[in-house]
Structure 1
Amino acid sequence: MWTDKHRGIRVSQEELLCKNTCGYYGNPAWQGLCSKCWRERARPAGAPRQDTRPRNDGTPLTFSKFEEKKNIEKGHRINTMRRLFWGSPSPPKRQESSESQTKALKAYQSLEPGDFTGFLKILRSPSSQRLQSRCTAFLNTMEAYHDLPVQKQSDLVLDFYQSFAEYFSSFPDAQVTQIMEHVEKLIMTRLHKWVFCHDSCDDEQKDLALQRRIRSLNWVTPQMLSVPFPDKKTAVTSDPFLPAITAIIEMDAKRAPQDKLACVSKCSQHVFEALSTSRSEPANADDFLSGLVYVVLKANPPRLHSNMQYVIRFGLPHSLMAGESGYYFTNLSCAMAFIEKLDGPALNLSPEEFEGYMLRQRAPSVGNKRQQIVSDTQNLLEELKGRQEKLDQGVVALNVQLQKWMQAVRSQLDEATAQFALVQEEITARPELSNVFSSPSPIASLQGGDKDQSVQVLTDQHARSKETDC
């Protein structure tokens, strides 16, 4: 399955599908089965899901009395859990609940794709009070019983998804999927700290083992994995798979399973983009899986096994069984399985050469690698030198502009100072002029005195002339 003389990794489309030929994608963690077939196989023999409840129609049961008693007790437990999570129905308010249900359904139908904030607003509205109370009761119960084994917690969460989806049975499948993605994000964001890397499982030990395994394979080159790389010499920091490495590392920071799947899908899309730029022809499935293995080896994502198991246990089943997200997730699981079982023939190496690489007794193409590093370093130094020259030229131009700006500011400041002095002089001169015009002038007073004297002389002369006439 994994080895080939010309290519290190080869997985056909049939090998990615479920072994029960149900049409969905399988997973190495489920022994090549999809989540539905794996859960059906994991159930006890003779205890299918539809027969776990006691039958009240009077038909005889085909099980023994012990099995019948066991099923009845299991049915009681299921009903008890449902009452805890969903509450008891209230017959007197059936008409009001149907009206509120119709109103809530109309609000959910108008919800836009990806609008998680709008979903929360609708869920908190009075018409969705019953759904909100169910979610709250389920979350409180899961937090109270967080010591349960992780597999039982997974079953409870998936049963809650199924029961919640029945509320929207009249909706199209696309709208139900959209609403259930919001429900999953709401529930698992709250339960992440209780169920992720649970104490009842060995996820932490497997994470450490996988990290040590990936760290021991850091000598694997893209040529060994038959990853198509660009032939031209590029700089050290221009790795075409760097965006994919960043995306797969970001998966550990997400809480909701769909957000982790989105990181896987983003990483896979970056792998396809890097492969398309590395070679002229379109990338095929074998090249994609080889590139994905190279990304995982170079990134060594934190808690990769725990994140994968978290998505498997608490994610929506349809997200893992079909679509792009299911295909990418299945390929990532195959890449993990390939890394765990990696040997010499998978890399076109003899067992002795592979052992020598693992023991650090050999290094792959040391001379060529050193020469490539030297050439890449020289190219990088030349690029940095050119950047430094441009920076120096920019600094000189900036100094010239700064000096011109300082001169212009000084000239404007001098001009403003001169204008301010002139304005101040005008302001001080205006009161003096007003005082001059308001007080009588000496010339006017002298002229007025002369006029009075002349009038007096004329009067005396006229009187004298009258006397002489007499």
Structure 2
Amino acid sequence: MWTDKQRGIRLSQQKLMCKNSCGYYGNPLWNGFCSKCWKDRARPAEAHRQDARVTGDGTPPTFSKFEEKKNLEKGRRVNTMRRLFWGTPSPPKPESSDSQMKVLKAYQMLEPGDFTGFLKILRSPSSQRLQSRCTAFLNTMEAYHDLPIQKHSDLVQDFYQSFAHYFSSFSDAELTQTMEHVEKLIMTRLHKWVFCHDSCDDEQKDLTLQRRIRSLNWVTPLMLGVPFPEVQSAITGDPFLPAITAIIEMDAKRAPQDKLVCVSKCSQHVFEALSVSNSEPANADDFLSALVYVMLKANPPRLHSNMQYVIRFGLPHSLMAGETGYYFTNLSCAVAFIEKLDGPALNLSQEEFESYMRRGQASVVRGGRQDAARETHRLLDELTERQEQLDRGVGDLNVQLRTWVQAVHTQIDQATSRLTVAQEELRDVSSSSSSPETTTVEHLVLTDANAGPPDSDC
């Protein structure tokens, strides 16, 4: 059934790469560029807009000097702010080479993912300088949390670059591992200040995306071209359930690297499900189609905010290259596909697509009413059962009460009967015991009367 090579969402590997052909992964959120090329293009565009505002709106030429002075003042304030964050650019006090080598060796000996060990080394006296820089940066970022979100992003990225200079002697793998620990330390503390920041509209876009995904709940795997088993196991159910669970867990993480781990787990579970559902090896088209299906089924909370958080505050190498970069780029493509989903993308006419959308919305409303009706019936059944139990209890109590009353009356009757018998026996005993004594007394009296006077000496 799934042997058609044209199934699924068609997206070549070349479309995942940066438009500048720099070798890194692009992203729909950056118009197909990688983060580095996007920033390089954004700076000249911004400068051009500023020049247009200065010279293209009829402003006198002398006003350009005022703009130049204003930009210089702005740059001076930025440099002052940066000095507040990580000190002056003047060289720090020299450290002994033995002490520095000892600290670097300790960081190099860390196992991958040993964040606890990293914290222990950072808190040691030999790493006091690095610890002080991290503490000063965190305290200042929290104090100036009202800055625009893009300023926060620039400051964090600048801090990453500044901090990485200390480990310039490390290999690429060692530097990546160390900076991942630094990112987790910094962003775990800053998460509550910069996630869904007040200066951006991430929260509103989250609600829009959630409503969009909810309105597409009628889309089936067959419409997306996702290889799906016709007969599901009674135990496992949906083979994509582990992927759905993994992407939902992303919102509970704080560090961008941990969120990317959830994206990687979700993608790996998608490949595993495809290998089970399809006799052929999974390809890129199957993967992207399945990832779209997972997003529609999961409807992850605050998906847009989480993706923007990773883009703004994650390490650049995690998004531009490697396995995590590939998975995150596909996730961005899946979200962009959902936002622009129409009839031709599902091999449907526009009329059929709109009919499905109306039917899906109606089914959501109807489903809500049916759920309310089912809940009402359940409550009525529960109350009826409780009333029947109460009636049965009252009946049993009445029977027990009547039985107890009868038992009391029986005991009273038996006690009365025994009392009557005992009284009769007592009277019989009294009468029988009084007759012989009377006869003896009378005999004695008669004997005394017939006898003569008693003998005397006279």
Q: Tell me which residue corresponds to 2:418.
A: none
Q: Tell me which residue corresponds to 2:309.
A: 310
- Percent identical across equivalent pairs? 84
Secondary structure in 1 aligned to 2:93? helix
1:362 positional shift = 10
1:231 positional shift = 3.2
Q: Tell me which residue corresponds to 2:160.
A: 161
Deviations 1:105-128 (A, max 9, x none): 222122222111111011111111
Q: Is the 8 A contact 1:8 1:346 kept in 2?
A: no
Q: Tell me which residue corresponds to 2:27.
A: 27
1:360-379, aligned counterparts within 5 Å? 360=359
Q: Tell me which residue corresponds to 1:82.
A: 82
Q: Is the 8 A contact 1:8 1:347 kept in 2?
A: no
Deviations 1:304-340 (A, max 9, x none): 0000000000000000000010000000000000000
**Structure 1: which amino acid aligns with 2:314?**
G
Question: How far apart are the structure 1 equivalents of 2:7 and 2:322?
Answer: 27
Q: Tell me which residue corresponds to 1:239.
A: 238
For normalisation by structure 2, the TM-score amounts to 0.71
**Structure 1: which amino acid aligns with 2:270?**
V
Question: How far apart are the structure 2 equivalents of 1:86 and 1:324?
Answer: 32
**Structure 1: which amino acid aligns with 2:330?**
N
1:232 positional shift = 3.2
Question: How far apart are the structure 1 equivalents of 2:283 and 2:107?
Answer: 40
**Structure 2: which amino acid aligns with 1:217?**
L
| CA separation of 1:77 and 1:167: change in aligned 2, threshold 3 A | farther
1:38-437, aligned counterparts within 5 Å? 38-44=38-44, 69=69, 72-88=72-88, 94-96=93-95, 98-235=97-234, 238-360=237-359
Secondary structure in 1 aligned to 2:261? helix
Q: Is the 8 A contact 2:184 2:255 kept in 1?
A: yes
Deviations 1:172-206 (A, max 9, x none): 11111110000000000000000001111110111
1:85 positional shift = 2.0
Question: How far apart are the structure 1 equivalents of 2:10 and 2:43?
Answer: 33
**Structure 1: which amino acid aligns with 2:28?**
P
Secondary structure in 1 aligned to 2:222? coil
Q: Is the 8 A contact 1:356 1:362 kept in 2?
A: no
Q: Tell me which residue corresponds to 2:12.
A: 12
Question: How far apart are the structure 1 equivalents of 2:116 and 2:361?
Answer: 55
1:102 positional shift = 3.0
1:103 positional shift = 2.7
| CA separation of 1:116 and 1:5: change in aligned 2, threshold 3 A | closer
Q: CA RMSD in A?
A: 2.5
Q: Which runs of 5+ in 1 are unaligned?
A: 49-63, 365-470
Deviations 1:346-376 (A, max 9, x none): 1111111111110017999xxxxxxxxxxxx
Secondary structure in 1 aligned to 2:221? coil
1:9 positional shift = 1.1
How many positions carry a matched residue from both structures? 345
Q: Is the 8 A contact 1:19 1:32 kept in 2?
A: yes
**Structure 1: which amino acid aligns with 2:118?**
F
Q: Which runs of 5+ in 2 are unaligned?
A: 49-63, 364-458
Question: How far apart are the structure 2 equivalents of 1:23 and 1:90?
Answer: 36
Which is further off, 352-361 or 137-146? 352-361
Question: How far apart are the structure 2 equivalents of 1:96 and 1:127?
Answer: 10
For normalisation by structure 1, the TM-score amounts to 0.69
Q: Is the 8 A contact 1:5 1:348 kept in 2?
A: no
Question: How far apart are the structure 2 equivalents of 1:268 and 1:178?
Answer: 22
**Structure 2: which amino acid aligns with 1:34?**
C
1:77 positional shift = 3.3
**Structure 2: which amino acid aligns with 1:25?**
Y
Secondary structure in 2 aligned to 1:360? helix
